[in-house]
Each structure stands twice: as structure tokens, then as C-alpha cells.
Structure 1
Amino acid sequence: MQELQNTTNNIVIAIKEFTRSIDSSNDYRGDISSLIQVTSNLELVNLDYWERLIRSEINNNLHSAIRSKWEIWFQPSVKLTWLGIVHGDGYKREKSLRALSEGAPNAFFLALFVRRLNDWVPQVRKAAREALPSLIKSTAPEHVAEVLCMLLLSWHSWGKMEETDKQIFLDMVISEEISLLLKSRLISSTSGPMPLLLSQTGRTGILDNHLNEIASAAVQPYVRAKAYRSLFEGRITWVESRKWQWIDKYYGEKKLIPIIAERKIDVQIPFLELLNKSAVDRSPIVRQVSAEFLIRNIESLGIQARIFAEKFAADKSSNVAEQGKFVLRKLNEKALENDIKN
């Protein structure tokens, strides 16, 4: 809470510095360098709050500056540029979007821009859509990757952003450089919704060739489990959207259910190699996935099935051990049937 308050205070101070810097020497554009500095390490959450704060402080400070700094009969046309994209007036947001000619100065400002794809004014969404390609090309890849993560995790709640815009954005950012940045984040992050992020990146093939490394090296076990499952199945799934489903119409009860989409992945890794690696993973969450696919492939593994089953049956995790014992029972039943036939 204290960190939020400190950041709020710093942003308020930065906006005051911006409004004080507006004069004819900079064509009434002002200097937002202080605000860029304050927001450069800001986590891309609570963006609604930051937009409202910036909009409110700009309105208050510009009004004061015009009354105290300039004569009442001369009110210059202040050029808000990046700050204009969160203006309360849709026309000014649209105008600011179309006036941007340089890349985003940091991930925070790029996130504010991308959020205009979900703006409540259609003309603003159109302006953002049209300006986005050149902006992406001229923005540092690390900023693009950070905003891509934010977008993939939140756009399911963006009711005004069209599906075509989502795909257009993904098509624009797919590159080897971005894929390496995403892979690094998925592997190194110790917290946060990284499994969800991995699922959502499945909309494209940007990480297909890195799934094996992610499965082996990711810090979070659920990320490793998701990567292994995708490799075992040869497909990756994600939540495309959610829709309401009636539970009881009489009592008016309904719930949101996820709509699952999937895409085939063309990554050829031998099944036994995946099984060997996942079976010795340090987390029972991953070993459970390994045991599950052992169960699915009992018939095709031959003697290897018993070796793995015995290993799983002795696992310190009760869930994994139960799966191993299940396979052993199946193998023993099969062996008994064969003895009777012979």
C-alpha cells in the first residue's frame, strides 16, 4: 500500500513538472521525461487507476498553469502527445494517437496506447489500430514483450477489443527476439500467472520451438507441467473466451464457463525422451503429468511400462504413487490374461 502511495505521489510531482515546462520554447509540448522515469519500472497492473490519476492531474494542473502563467486572453494550444491518449475527450484521444510519430518511451506508455484498442469510442479504436504497426516497429522489443504479456493475461476481459485486433497484434509482434524475451520470462519468473501466459501464447507458434527448454528449465512447476502436457499431446490449448451457461433456470442460476481453443504444434520429440525427463522432475505436479501419459500409453511401451510404473509406485507423492500402482495392476491383469491364454 505504501509503495502504491509513493508511486502516486511521484506521478503527481512528475505531471506538475510537465505542466510547468510547457511554453513556446518547446512548441507547448512540455517535457514528460520525469513521468517516463517514474513509470519505467512500474508493473503493468492497475492501469485504470493510473489513467484516471494522470487524466485528473493533467486537467487540474493545466487549468492552474493557464491561469497563472499565461494571460487569460492568450491560451496556447497545448500538445499533450503521449498524455493525450488518456484524455477524457475522445476526439483528443484520437487526435493524440494519430499525432504520435515515435516509438513508445517505455512499456507503460505502450500499454496505455494498446488499451485504446478497447476504448469505448469506435473512432479511437480505429486510430489505435491504424497507428499500431508503425509504433510497434519503432518501440524497443523489451517494451513490446512486456506489454504482450500484459495483454495476453488481460484481454479476455476487454469486451470492446475485437478478435481480429488480437490476431493483428500477435502477427505484428511475432519475431525471434520477442520469442526469446517471452521464453526468458516464462523460465525465470518465480511468481505470477505464467501458466496462463504460456497458454495464451499458444495462439501463435512463437514459443513452439522453446517448449522443450521451458519444460525442463522453468522455475514454476505448473509452467513445466503445461509445457510437458503440450509436448505429449502435440497441441497447446488456451481459454478463448467465456460464456454464460444456465445451471438452474428456475432459480436464475448460471455460471461462466471457459471456451477452450487449441492449436497443433509441430515439435517432434520422442515420447520416451519426454517420459524420462518428466518422470524425474523435482515437482510431483509434473510427475503426475508424466504418470498420466504413461497410463495413456501402456499398450505401446512394452517392458518400459513396468519400469516406469514401479518408479511411480514408489514416489513420495501419494497421487503419483497411486497412478503408478494403477499401471502395475493393469500390467499384472494383462500378464495374467496372457498366462491363462497360453
Structure 2
Amino acid sequence: MVEQNKFEYQISAAISEFVASKKPTSKIVADLSPVIEATSELPLSNLEYWETFIRDQYDQALSSESTNKWKFWEDNSPRITLLDLCSWDGYRREKALRTINDKLPNRLFLALVVRRLNDWVPQVRKAAQDILANVLINSEPPYVADVICFTLSHWSSWKRIAPLNRMALLNTLSNKEIAKHIKLKLIHSSAGPLASILSEIGQIDVLDNSLEEIAANAVQPALRAKAYRSLLEGKVSWFAGREWEWTDKRYNEGRMKTLVAERPLATKVPLLPTLHLAANDRSSQARRVAAEILIKELNNLGSESLVLAEKFAQDSSSAVAERGKFALKKLAGDTTF
């Protein structure tokens, strides 16, 4: 909360300074750099809040300007700036997008441009789509990596973004520098829906060769588990939407069914060594994945099946131990389960 208050104060002061510099009586050339500097460290995780805050502060600063009411023939509407990416007015949001030539000054404004791909105004979405490729290519790779990770963690709820724009964002990862930053961000981050982000990236093969590194070194246990599952199953899967499924048409009953799409990995890894690595992972989530794969491959691993089953049966995690005991029963020919 203290940090948020600090950001709010800095942004409010920067916006006021910028608006004051735009007054006709000001001797200072209008410069957005104070706002850019004040917003450079904002966390994208709270993007919606900061978008609303910037919009409100900008509106308040503009309304406090003294205008000459007698010169009614003069156009007193403020000129379009990057701050209008947050405007309530769809026309101003579209114009703000059209004024962007190449790169964005920080990750916040880049995120706001990408967010406009899901705008409720079709013309704004079209403007964002028209500049998207150029903006992504010319912006700093770390900014692009952060914004794409943020977007991938939210876009399952974006209902207006076109499939073409989804793929355009994913295809940006074909840039090796951006892909490297994405990989490092996944490995070193400890919080967030990283496993979901990895799943979404899995729609293309850009990180296929990095899955072993992610599985071995990622800080977040859920991400290591996801990487091991993809490696051991030889495929990657992701959320592909929902569709209605009837359970009983006579009574007009049904439910929404989750759709999952999948793609085989471009690279294959040896099953047994990878299974041993997962079985010795420090997280029970990864060990549980290994135990599940063991049960599926029980008849294909020779004597190692028994070794791994006994190891899992003694695991400190009850979920892993259950699967280990189940594997032992299957090896013993027990058919009572």
C-alpha cells in the first residue's frame, strides 16, 4: 500500500506538470517524459487500476486548466497524447494509437496498446491491430517479454480480441531476443500463473528446446511440473475455450465443457532419464507428475518400474505415495482396484 501511494503521488504530480507545460502561457515545451519516468516501474499485474487512475488524474488536470471562455471560436480540446490510450472517448483512444510511429517508451504504454486489441470499440481494435507488428518489433525486448507474459495470463477472458491478433502476439516470440527474455522471466519468477503462460506459448514451438532447462531450473514448482509433464508426454496442451455440452436434453440440462488443444513437441527427450529427474524434484507437484507417467508407462520401463514405484510409495507426499502404491499393486498383478 505504501508503494502504491508513492506511485500515485508521483504519477499525479507528473501529469499535473505535463498539463501545465501545455498551457499557451507556459514557456516550457510540453514534454511527456515526467509521466514516462513516473510510470516506468508500475507493476503490470494491476494494469486496470493504473489505467483508471491515469485517466482520472489526466481528466482532473485538464479540467483545472484556465481557458478563455470568450474566445469561443478557438478549439480548446487538448491535443492527442499517449495518455489518451486511457481515455473514455473511443475517438481519442483511436487517434492516440494512430499517432504512434514505432516504439513505446515503457512497458506500461506498450501494455495499454496491446490491451486495446480487446477494446469495446471496433475502430480502436482495428487501430491497435494496424500498429501492433511495428510497435512490437521496435520496442525494447524486455518490455515486449513482460507485456506478452502479462497478456497471455489474461487473454482467456478477452472475448473481443481476434484470433489473428492472438497469433501475431505469439509469433513475436520468434524474435530470439524476446524469446530469451521470456524464458528467463519464466525461470526466475516465483509468482503468477506461469504454468498457464507456458501452456499458451506452447501453441508455437519457440520454447520446445528450452523445456528441459525450465524443468530443471524454474523457481516455481507448478512451472517445473508443467514442463516435466510436457517433456514426459511428448506434447504440450493449452486451454482452447469452452462449449456447451448437453447432459440431458429432455430436461434442458447441460454444462460448459472445457476444450483443450494440444501439439506434439518439436524435440523429444529420453523417457527414463527425464522421469528420474522429475522423480527427484524437490517439489511434490513435479514428483506427482512423474508418478502419473510411471503408471502409464509401467510396462515399458523394465526393472526400473519397480525401482521408481518403490521410491514413490515411500514419498513424503500422500498424493505421490498413493500413486507409488498403486503402481506396486499393478506390478504385483493385483486386479482388485
TM-score between the two structures when normalised by the length of structure 2: 0.89
Q: Check the 8 A contact 1:66/1:75 in 2, yes or no.
A: no
Distance 2:240 2:29 in 1: 41
TM-aligned CA deviation for residue 250 of structure 1: 9.6
Superimposed CA distance per residue, residues 40-64 of structure 1 (whole angstroms, 9 cap, x where no aligned partner): 1111133233222222222232232
> What is residue 49 of structure 2 aligned with on the other side?
49
Correspondence 1:235 to 2:244: no
Q: Check the 8 A contact 1:28/1:79 in 2, yes or no.
A: no
Distance 1:235 1:39 in 2: 40
Mapping 1:1-342, distance limit 5 Å: 1-23=1-23, 30-67=30-67, 74-75=74-75, 78-243=78-243, 256-333=256-333
Distance 2:7 2:259 in 1: 38
Superimposed CA distance per residue, residues 257-280 of structure 1 (whole angstroms, 9 cap, x where no aligned partner): 422111111212111111111111
Amino acid aligned to 1:221: P
- Aligned CA distance change for structure 1 residues 15 and 311 (closer, same or farther; 3 Å): same
Could you tell me which runs of 5 or more consecutive residues in structure 2 were left unpaired when the two chains were aligned: none
TM-aligned CA deviation for residue 103 of structure 1: 0.8
| SS at 1:46 equivalent | helix
CA-atom RMSD, angstroms?
Answer: 2.8
Distance 1:49 1:249 in 2: 43
> What is residue 339 of structure 1 aligned with on the other side?
none
Distance 1:163 1:27 in 2: 48
Distance 2:303 2:25 in 1: 81
Amino acid aligned to 2:112: L
Distance 1:318 1:233 in 2: 23
- Aligned CA distance change for structure 1 residues 233 and 28 (closer, same or farther; 3 Å): farther
- Aligned CA distance change for structure 1 residues 173 and 213 (closer, same or farther; 3 Å): closer
- Aligned CA distance change for structure 1 residues 74 and 327 (closer, same or farther; 3 Å): same
Distance 1:86 1:95 in 2: 12
- Aligned CA distance change for structure 1 residues 294 and 269 (closer, same or farther; 3 Å): same
Amino acid aligned to 2:313: A
Distance 2:246 2:67 in 1: 58
Distance 2:100 2:30 in 1: 15
Distance 1:194 1:43 in 2: 16
Q: Check the 8 A contact 1:28/1:78 in 2, yes or no.
A: no
> What is residue 337 of structure 1 aligned with on the other side?
none
TM-aligned CA deviation for residue 325 of structure 1: 2.3
Identity %: 43
TM-aligned CA deviation for residue 302 of structure 1: 1.3
TM-aligned CA deviation for residue 326 of structure 1: 2.2
- Aligned CA distance change for structure 1 residues 285 and 150 (closer, same or farther; 3 Å): same
Distance 1:169 1:62 in 2: 34
TM-aligned CA deviation for residue 105 of structure 1: 0.6
Could you tell me which runs of 5 or more consecutive residues in structure 1 were left unpaired when the two chains were aligned: 335-342
TM-aligned CA deviation for residue 256 of structure 1: 4.6
Superimposed CA distance per residue, residues 4-55 of structure 1 (whole angstroms, 9 cap, x where no aligned partner): 3332232222111110111569999832212212211111133233222222
- Aligned CA distance change for structure 1 residues 329 and 88 (closer, same or farther; 3 Å): closer
Superimposed CA distance per residue, residues 180-215 of structure 1 (whole angstroms, 9 cap, x where no aligned partner): 111111111112211111111112212111000111
| SS at 1:333 equivalent | coil
Q: Check the 8 A contact 2:298/2:305 in 1, yes or no.
A: yes
